[in-house]
Chains A and B, each alone.
Chain A
Amino acid sequence: MRTSLPMFMGLGLLALAPMQAQAGGADILKSQCSACHALSKPASVTIDDLWTRKAPDLWYAGDKFNKDWLVAWLQNPTRIRPAGYPYFKNVIKGPKHDEIDESKLKPHVHLAKADAEAVADALMAMKPDGVVQKGIYKGGSVNMRMGAMTFDKFRGCIACHKGADGKGGFSGAELTDAGKRLQPDYIASFIKDPQKIDPHIWMPTLAMNDRSIQMLTGYLIKLSGQEKK
């Protein structure tokens, strides 16, 4: 009697397995990803809700990621956030400063090529209105020295993000290859107002003028070797 529930679930999984092999991207997202990632916009978000999150939201993925990066990363996921997500659940007191509790950071599920492509297609179709400001990034030439000074010194982005040569802080996403992972308009929109895209996120709104937003976005894109034609 006691084993009946797990056995029933096991049978359910067996029955599901052959279906999944040919399932579309949206089905894979629902069955394998929705336990950790939000796939539709939550009705409301509070600071307390951030503490129940297991992973970054994906409901605006089509406005966020570059498809090539998605297809490759889903097959071979690497660490993006040095302290995992959310960082505050994975830090512990250390002798000199707080440290990352590596035992809490589990490897990400990876997908076979065909599934990765199907999921990337489904994710790229998720483009809700009003999250990202379309056309905000103008492109143009980038002064890498000024960009680096702004990122490291004038604006202190480096406090939370790894930038050039992988140097920087641990509580934000690594930005060393942000231009490969993220769309330019997403980068610029996020820098302009992180709270508009991800309410209550622990990146501050840094009252930036358009020149700084353009410069930092161009800098991050060029830093990843992703020059805009």
Chain B
Amino acid sequence: MRHQSLLLGGIVLATLAFSAVQPASAADTKIERVYGTYCVQCHGLKRNGTGVNLPALSVRPRDHTDPKGMGSLPDDEIFKAIKTGGLSVNKSVLMPSWGGTLNDKQITEMVHYLRTVCKCGH
């Protein structure tokens, strides 16, 4: 018992120490997790346009794994679509604008991330 509680105390202390040094800035969130928070609701866990909201969407979200479709979009259009929404690049309003949620650095990182998802780097 004494050993157990010592061990337990050690774990608790270690956890506390560990969480104290965790980064606290939003900008430090891994980009996969940013995608998993905001984009997965429509583009899906498979990232191919099959999110949980798909049945409610009249336009299919872009398949981010499709090298051809994504390959045809230049980086600046992808950036614009994410920052100011589908309408701003003559696409559906169902692709929302994320400029009020993500900063330019995160959106740039997202564009790079999408290039790895489609394996269609420019």
Task: Name the residue on B nearest A168 (C-beta).
Answer: B56
Contact with A47, one of B33, B56, B93, B100 (Cβ below 8 angstroms): B33
Which chain A residues lie closer than 8 Å to B100 at the CB level? Answer: 193, 195, 204-205, 207
Contact B53 A170 (CB under 8 A): yes
Task: Name the residue on B nearest A45 (C-beta).
Answer: B26
The verdict on B57 contacting chain A, using a C-beta distance below 8 Å, is yes
Contact B50 A160 (CB under 8 A): no
Contact with B41, one of A50, A155, A171 (Cβ below 8 angstroms): A171
The verdict on B74 contacting chain A, using a C-beta distance below 8 Å, is no
Which chain B residues lie closer than 8 Å to A46 at the CB level? Answer: 24-26, 28-29
Q: B16 → chain A, closest Cβ, in Å? A: 15
Contact with A202, one of B26, B41, B44 (Cβ below 8 angstroms): B41
Chain A interface main SS type: loop
Contact B96 A91 (CB under 8 A): no
The verdict on B1 contacting chain A, using a C-beta distance below 8 Å, is yes
The verdict on A97 contacting chain B, using a C-beta distance below 8 Å, is yes
The verdict on B34 contacting chain A, using a C-beta distance below 8 Å, is yes
Which chain B residues lie closer than 8 Å to A100 at the CB level? Answer: 52
Contact A97 B37 (CB under 8 A): no
Which chain B residues lie closer than 8 Å to A51 at the CB level? Answer: 33, 37
Contact A96 B26 (CB under 8 A): no
